[in-house]
Amino acid sequence: MGEATRTAWVVGGGTGIGRAAAQALARDGFHVVVSGRRAAELDATLDAVHQSGGAASALVLDVTDDDAVQDAAARLAEAHGHIDTLVYCAGTNVAGRFWDRVSATDIAHVMDVNLQGAVRTVHAVLPGMRSAGVGLVVLVSSWAAWRHSPGAGAAYAMSKTSLGVMAETLNAQERLHGIRATHLCPGEVATDILDTRPNPPSAEARALMLAPDDVGETVAWIARQPARVCVNELVLTPTANTSYA
């Protein structure tokens, strides 16, 4: 496939980091397919991509639905051929951050979206990547997966830490098929997920955080690397990293 016809599937592409990644990848010539649960937010991402001259389409998807993920991957393969790059940005958190304040049901929900959703989508695209002999998986994780972050909460930290192991096993087991994976660990990013915190940060605090575009451009940089280069793990934080406070 030519450079202009490479396809990137951005799961969780309706807002925040996902939207920024979709815009950055489209600027680099990818046809970007964005997926998420809310059609209106996906449409807003499409508008942003199209306004800058990029190519994009949307596919509504609930990543907790096994059959829906498999069907989405099959539809994308039929329409675009194999997926060159998968970016998994879907994520959630809950207000209860400590074991004595969070239910097992809440933990299971966070794991289902943050980890199992990634497993479902990666598993769905791997056959096409293997057949093509090339593929990139970018798992958007968190600083909380790289260093203990009490404020992130037990459920979120467990789910994101697991993504690091997932990327490592992909690189170990799929490298001979030309498939590489990146565990991308941003620090605090000014996105809507901050509103799930027991005490959401102020506008002043958010202004010191990474912007979604900072992470989106990093995703595009990873995708620009030649096929012989695997960015196994990448950590980026705000200069004013509150984890050091």
Say which of 9, 143, 146, 156 is annotated catalytic.
156
Q: What is the CATH number of domain 3-244?
A: 3.40.50.720
**pLDDT band for position 151 (cuts 50, 70, 90):** confident
- Annotation says 156 is catalytic: yes
* pLDDT at site 173: 98
Question: Between 206 and 10, where is the model more confident?
Answer: 10
Output the average pLDDT for the chain: 94
Q: Rounded to two decimals, what is the model's pTM?
A: 0.94
* pLDDT at site 245: 59
What mean pLDDT do residues 52-71 have?
97
HEC readout, 48-116: HHHHCCCEEEEEECCCCCHHHHHHHHHHHHHHHCCCCEEEECCCCCCCCCCHHHCCHHHHHHHHHHHHH
Does pLDDT of 1 surpass 60?
Answer: no
Question: Between 44 and 81, where is the model more confident?
Answer: 44
- Residue 200, judged by CB atoms within 10 A of its CB (0-12, 13-18, 19+), counts as exposed
What mean pLDDT do residues 107-119 have?
98
Beta-carbon neighbour count of residue 176 at 10 Å? 8
Terminal-residue alpha carbon distance, the chain: 48
